[in-house]
Each structure stands twice: as structure tokens, then as C-alpha cells.
Structure 1
Amino acid sequence: MDTLGVVVNPIAGMGGRVGLKGTDGKVAEARRRGAEPRAPERAVEALEALARRRPELTVYTAAGPMGEDAARAAGYDPEVVYGPSRVAGGGSESDEADGGNEDSETNDHGDSSETSADDTKAAVRAFLERGVDLVLFVGGDGTAVDVAEVLSEDGERETPMLGVPAGVKIYSSVFGVTPADAGRIAAEFDRVEDREVNDIDEDAYREGEVRAELRAVVPVPVASGVQSSKQLSSGSVDALAEGFADEIDPETTYVFGPGSTVGAIESALGIDPSPLGVDVWRGGEVLARDASESEILAVLEEPAVIVVSPIGGQGFVFGRGNHQLSPAVIERADVEVVASDDKLDGVGQLRVDTDDEAVDESLRGWMHVRTGRFTTRLLKVV
């Protein structure tokens, strides 16, 4: 690889920690709740990993927060081939903060504090005009859909794409496991493999329903750091849930993460779980339901336990779909991981990606995962 196109969705993932489960049409609300961008830092992390291995690359990118800023911070002198349209309301149907933005806002200087899906697509078209060897994008599934749509327009060559995970939801199998992994893969890959781009209905997701849709099949660099797509089903966890409920300590604060496995435990305790949100419970009382990071911290009293289940097919226990469980929350609680044997058979190892390397490191190592009423398995967190 000699040339690279880099495009960043600047607000990808902003809705996670504030409990929005995405930011499709919710940018203003995310900001009102105190959300901070995470995509720019993750873009720098990926490009720094790339620059350590391939500093000589020719990098094409879009202006400012859409890639230029991150590329320069990583040590590259990129060629800017596209400037955002700066037109408010320029999003398309696939716009979302985990993809293209539909919440473009224009300030008094004519600048847009957000960009649109159309900007992402236009940047990728500019990359293709220059014959880049790889498109590296930073965002989530919606951004992946936008990039794949443009790549499919190029009938003469199949340009591969690789994602730096920055969205709330990552259901596509086109992303590096971490930003650093994505940078390493971009630097070192020597073959590609067809992978799926999936997207979900974000409004349905906020209501606790996952509606996934295959949107494209695209060539993706192959390496050990590229994750598989989410598995949307898991085995029975009734015995696990009943065993956990039997051992509940009424003096402990329990922070229940998203998903059906943890939801089964909540149901065994008489709680109506928010399937894709975070609930806080102590002594028979729900202290916060579908809570944001700040709402969790407001009611969190020690001793506390975070109960999470890894994502099937990926193994993430933190950093995918549960950004409300932030480093600040994790540092104030113990962690208990629960999962069925069937789910663990498809995982192999556990992963964390909290945006805080010190917290990630504190979680790494061997961990007992509860699999039944009395049984556990030992898995390594990497």
C-alpha cells in the first residue's frame, strides 16, 4: 500500500455515555446532556499506530475534523482533497452519529460544527479519483454504510475499506478491534477478504429491539485484529440467572449492563430490564433505569458490582454498546461477567476498549465468567 484515504465522522459515538445508544438525529440532545466527541481521539490513535510503521505513506483526507486534524496530529502531512459542505441539514437517510451526520449546524462564521453523510461520501469519491489503495474511516456502522455505498459505485476496481471503531454500535465485520489494531492492519495487510456491512434501525434500538440489515459486502484487509460481526442470539441462561439472583447481596449496588443475558438476571430479581440500556439496583429498588453515565454515578454507592455479558462473536465486555459504563463507573465497582457456555464457545477471549488505557490494563488478565447456577469458566481479557 502506497496511498491511503482517511475520513472521520467527528461526532460518532457521542450518544453512548449519555444513554442515547447512538446520535442519529440526537446531536443537540447529546450535547445538552454533556456528551463529548470521541472519534477524533480514536482517529489519532489509529493513525499514530499506522505512522509508526508506514510514515512514508501518501495520505489523502478531508479538511479539519473530518481527517486533516487527526492526520497532522499523528505526524503526517496530508493532502486535503475535500472540504465539508458546511450546509445545515445536509444529511441523508443513512445519517447517524455512528455513520453520516444529519444534525449539521452552522455557526456565525459559516463553519459547520457537524458534517453530513453526503460529506463522507464526497470525501470517499475524492479518494477514489486519486486511486487510493485503502479507505480508512472512523465511525460506526452508519459510516461504514456510507463508505461502502461509494465504493460500490467504482466498477473498475475494488478498493478495500477498514473501520476504526468509534460508534456506539458496531455490527459490521469491517472494523479493527481497537483503533491501534486498525492502524496496524492498515500498515501491514497483504490480502483482503469479503466482509459484511450491517446497519440497524436506531429508533428501534432505543426501544430495546435490534433490527439488523445487511447493507453491503466489501473487501476488507485481513489480520488477527479484525473482528467478526456480532452474533444476535445466545443460549438459555435461566439457570445462570436464578443462581445469580439467589446470591444477591441487598447491601450492594448492582449496575446491570445491556443484553438478554443480564436482562434474564434482572427479570429473576423482579426488575423490568431495559434490554439495551443500563439499570442500577440496590436492596429491591431500581435506582436508575436506562441510565446515562452521569445518572449511574449519581446513585452509585459502594460496595458496587457491574454485571456485564460479552458480545457474542466479539468478546467485548466494555466499549461496545455500553459506553455508559465509563472508566469513572468501572473504577468505583467490581466487575462480574456472565455468559452462557454457548456464547463463550464462540468468543475464545474477552476484550475491553474503554478509551482509558489504564482502566483497560487493570481489567486485562484472567477472569472467572459465571456460566450457570454454580459453574464458571476462566477466560483471558486481552
Structure 2
Amino acid sequence: MSTFHMGLIINPLAGLGGMVALKGSDGVAAEALARGAEPRAEMRTRQALECLQPLVGRIEFLTFPGPMGADLLEEMGFAHRVLGHLENQVTSAQDTRHAVDALQQSGVALILFAGGDGTARDVCSVVRADQPVLGIPAGVKIHSGVYAISPRAAGELVRRLVEGGLVRLASGEVRDLDEAALRDGRVAARWYGELTVPEEGHFMQHVKQAGMESEELVLVDLADWLSDSWEEGVRYIFGPGSTLHGLAANLGMETTLLGVDVIQDGRVIARDVSEQQLFDLVDRHPARLLVTAIGGQGHIIGRGNQQISPRVLRALGLDNLRVVATKRKLGTLEGRPLLVDSGDPELDSAFPDAVRVWAGYKEELLYPLGWGD
């Protein structure tokens, strides 16, 4: 049986800024590490590769030294060849671009890369139009349609490909937000190009639908309902996004558009918190979590809100989660389920098959929930 040759690139810095409330990692990796951020890209890649371990004898990876892939492949027992070298201990966008160029010159069938939208931009800047690639989601903001919905979904999609299953190719858009603008509370997105990606049903995420929520009257209704039902002494965590930002504004509170904020007894007690700050606020204290869905994509956990980590979710209890989404936003999903990708597959599998969605004044919907199985 022939060997399947595949490229692997890990951006070790991807996702560093999420848990420490930096809205991304581009240009702030050193600051994120100084704040106590822990690298997560290797862990996310490991989750994808675990799906391929039954096929370990049928795959040879081509990769790059140390944290860009070689260390993990060696540890997991995959056959691999190491290309190139690293100039510095801390990797850069140029390292990613060099890796893509070398891998496609080596004729690999697929380039698997772990990162976020910035990594997708780097891949897009040098890859040939006909070179199939697939992203393992490991960044903070993932708007591009070139990523699987979770690391495990990426692994399952590759497994299907190696086993000879029919996997069609499609074009996936690469989009990215200006992280400096994000940190100032402004959303500025750009289209950077398209990549050829394997696409198979529910494995791939859709491009995030941009734009501010326009159903102001629905948010007014939701604010009226919430103001009527505040629980004294309970901490309400407002996740990022225009829906919850607009909801807070209608409650007369100033929250951060793209951060995580905590409200108690009608006032904001913590703004733009890190993961550690959030855990300290909810551990052993009654709390409710409000999140919204990314329009067109459906993620409620694991995209732009990494501060809401697995340990935070466990401290809160999954029964204290509520999704806030207008029917218009749910309509952009076209019947696809809401998604969770916390980084902890065991926790993801513990989520219910459907969640309650607050969609209007005293109007709750039951909507299906999925994860990267």
C-alpha cells in the first residue's frame, strides 16, 4: 500500500493572545507570554493527529524543526522528514512562508497547518492555487473558511482522504481582522484571497458573516427581559460580539465589543478580563454565561472567546450557559447546528445536543448543538 505524503506546519505562537485578552497574537506574542499565556497550537495539532494514529504506517509527514512540527511528530511516532531550519528560537511569519514554499516544492498531497487567520494569510501569500491545504483551528480569531470546525474534524477529514474516501476540493476564503484596530474596539476586516481546501459536509467551517447586528428592536426586547430577571448576587458573563455589546448598551452598561465582561447587580464589575481573571470571578460563585453565535459560522465557544476556557466552563456549569441570538442570525446558519470547540474534546462531548437560545422578549428557542466529532 502506497505512503501518503503530507506536509505539517505548526505556528507555535498561534492563539497565545486569547486567554490573556489580547484579541489575537499578531505582534504581541512576547506580551502574551509575559502575561502567562501558554502555547496551545501544539495541543490543538495533537488532537487532530490522534485521529490519524490508526494509519501511522501509511503516512509520512514532511515538516519543519522543533515546535513547527518535528517535535510533536517524533513524540507521537509518525514517520517524518524534517526540511529546512529555524533562524531563531521564536518563529516568525517568514518561517511559515518558507515552510509552505518548501512543502509544495516537495510535492506533498496536502499541507496541514495549525494557526489562525494570520497564519492563513501567510499560507495564502505563497501557496500555489492548485495546492490543497487544510487549517487546524488554533488561533484566537478564525474568520477564514479554510479551517475545519475543530482539530478533531481536521483529523477526521484527513483520515477520510488517506483511506481513499471521496473528498471534494473547494475554494475557501482567507479573511483577517486588523488586530490593532480590534484592541481599540474597532472591527476592520479584509479579504486576502482563496485557498484550495478539501471540503466535506460538516467538517469545514463557513466564513464569518461580517457586519453589525441590525435588529435593534430585538435587542431592546432582550434587554427588557434581562432587566426584569436579574438575579441578585449572580455574576453575568457577557461574551464578545456585537449582539451582546448591543444588549449591554440597551441595559445602560458600557462593555467591550470584543472582550469578555462581568456584570453583577446591574453594573459592570470587570471589563475585558483575561482567562485567569474570569476563572477567579466565577470559581465558587453563582454565575451565568451569555454568548452569541458567530454569524454564518455558528461557533459559540472557541472562536474569539478563549478566555471562556474549559476550566471556566466547568466552574460555571454547562447548565448556566445561554446563547443570545436573533432569529435572523440563526437563519444565516441555514439549518446547520451551533458549534463548540473549547480545546477539550471530553468537555465538548458533554455539551447537550441542543441549547436554549434567547431570541426575543421571553422567547426561548431550542437549537441543535454540535462539535468537531
Asked if Structure 1 and Structure 2 have the same fold, meaning a TM-score greater than 0.5 normalized by the shorter chain, the answer is yes
Q: Tell me if the contact between 1:198 and 1:212 (Cα under 8 Å) persists in the aligned partners.
A: yes
Aligned to 1:355: 343
Counterpart AA for 1:19: A
1:346 aligns with 2:348: no
Aligned to 1:109: none
Aligned to 1:242: 224
Counterpart AA for 2:246: A
In 1, the alpha carbon distance for the partners of 2:107 and 2:98 equals 15
CA deviation profile, 1:195-241 (whole Å, cap 9, x unmatched): 11111111011122221111111211011201101111344132223
- Cα deviation for residue 270 of structure 1 reads 1.6
Aligned to 1:82: 84
Cα RMSD (Å): 1.6
CA deviation profile, 1:236-271 (whole Å, cap 9, x unmatched): 132223322222223211011001111122112221
Q: Secondary structure at the match of 1:343?
A: helix
1:365 aligns with 2:347: no
Structure 1 unaligned runs (5+)? 87-111
Which of residues 117, 123, 143 in structure 2 aligns to 1:171?
Answer: 143
Which of residues 295, 300, 317 in structure 2 aligns to 1:312?
Answer: 295
Indicate the percent of aligned positions where both proteins have the same amino acid.
40
Aligned to 1:158: 130
In 2, the alpha carbon distance for the partners of 1:80 and 1:48 equals 20
In 2, the alpha carbon distance for the partners of 1:131 and 1:205 equals 38
Aligned to 2:164: none
Counterpart AA for 1:227: Q
In 1, the alpha carbon distance for the partners of 2:159 and 2:280 equals 43
1:256 aligns with 2:238: yes
Q: Secondary structure at the match of 1:332?
A: helix
1:185 aligns with 2:157: yes
Structure 2 unaligned runs (5+)? 162-166
Aligned to 1:213: 190
In 2, the alpha carbon distance for the partners of 1:83 and 1:50 equals 26
In 2, the alpha carbon distance for the partners of 1:56 and 1:67 equals 18
- Cα deviation for residue 53 of structure 1 reads 4.3
In 1, the alpha carbon distance for the partners of 2:185 and 2:214 equals 19
In 1, the alpha carbon distance for the partners of 2:169 and 2:214 equals 32
Aligned to 1:279: 261
Aligned to 2:69: 67
- Cα deviation for residue 292 of structure 1 reads 0.6
In 2, the alpha carbon distance for the partners of 1:339 and 1:309 equals 6
Q: Secondary structure at the match of 2:307?
A: coil
Q: Secondary structure at the match of 1:219?
A: strand
In 2, the alpha carbon distance for the partners of 1:262 and 1:252 equals 18
Aligned to 2:322: 336
Answer 1 or 2: which has greater helix percent.
Answer: 2
1:123 aligns with 2:99: yes
Counterpart AA for 1:171: H
TM-score where L is the length of structure 1: 0.88
Q: Tell me if the contact between 2:59 and 2:79 (Cα under 8 Å) persists in the aligned partners.
A: no
Q: 1:322 to 1:245 in 2, by over 3 A?
A: same
1:199 aligns with 2:176: yes
In 2, the alpha carbon distance for the partners of 1:294 and 1:166 equals 19
CA deviation profile, 1:56-92 (whole Å, cap 9, x unmatched): 1221000111011222233312100122121xxxxxx
- Cα deviation for residue 335 of structure 1 reads 0.9
Q: Secondary structure at the match of 1:60?
A: strand
Aligned to 1:267: 249
- The number of aligned residues is 352
Counterpart AA for 2:199: V
In 1, the alpha carbon distance for the partners of 2:294 and 2:198 equals 22
In 1, the alpha carbon distance for the partners of 2:315 and 2:292 equals 19
- Cα deviation for residue 316 of structure 1 reads 1.1
TM-score where L is the length of structure 2: 0.90
Which stretches of structure 1, 4 residues or longer, exceed 3 Å deviation after superposition? none
1:288 aligns with 2:266: no
In 2, the alpha carbon distance for the partners of 1:54 and 1:240 equals 51
- Cα deviation for residue 344 of structure 1 reads 1.0
Alignment of 1:81-120 (within 5 A): 81-86=83-88, 112=89, 114-120=90-96
Aligned to 2:11: 9
